[in-house]
Amino acid sequence: MGKLDGKVALISGGSSGIGLATARLFLDQGARVALLARSIERGGQALQQLQVPASQGIFIACDVRSQVECQQAVEQAVGAFGRLDILFNNAGVIYIERSVLDTSEDQWNETLGVSLTGTYNLSRCAIPEIAKAGGGTIINNSSVFGLVAGQGVAAYCAAKGGVIMLTKAMALDHAGDGIRVNCICPGSVDTPMLQSEMEILGGQESMRPAFAARHPLNRISTPEEIARAVLFLACDDSSFITGAALPVDGGRSVW
């Protein structure tokens, strides 16, 4: 038996990286999964990689900055699978080498819109369905930069810090609905987002050792390692945990 047998999960930012790795693990553990992402092309590619029938996994195009699109996505997932038990708010963007002075209004709005407002939008639409199913879990993707600051990522720090406090507030507000709400705080993870950052800063080959050295464990995480932390918070293994911000950062926030 899988740890998520009979459960239905909705995953934003599901077409690559942590979202796709989590979808694969959830499917392995018996869940049915709806992937959300803005790009229809990348969403289709993600489904091909997962190699699951429509009865087990679907893709829904959704910009989480739009509450209308989030509501439609939730309705489509429930229409396909009959219920909703798990929400993983994973979508996020980052602009690097951007202090407040260097961050444009559009960059600020996009960063907070996807990570913070997107978490609010999708949660607001999903919570009634999770409650209707008898309760469940919400996992939000914050960051080590929600716990400690980083240089040149002012908007990202603001967004991810907000995600942590939103997680705690939601945990209090919805405990009575049988909904546990937690968040993960990853360090550097080997995803397309991180690879793009390294290319901007000088190339993956030269920057990878520097990124690894920022963590006491002296390496970069795999998406699969983060997915296992999400699974822990999504399943009954964490049945008495809510309102937590779990560092999955190779010790980076300890420094």
Active site residues: 156
Both tokens of residue 53? Answer: 């029938």
Strand order in the sheet with 136-141: 57-61, 32-37, 8-11, 86-89, 136-141, 179-186, 245-248
Question: Using CA atoms, how far apart are residues 200 and 31, in angstroms rounded to an integer?
Answer: 37
**In 3-state terms, what secondary structure has residue 93?**
coil
- DSSP E strand boundaries for the chain: 8-11, 32-37, 57-61, 86-89, 136-141, 179-186, 245-248
CA atoms within 13 A on the CB side of 103: 22
What single DSSP character describes residue 7?
Answer: -
What single DSSP character describes residue 177?
Answer: G
Instruction: Find the angle CA(139)-CA(27)-CA(192) to the nearest 5 degrees.
Output: 65
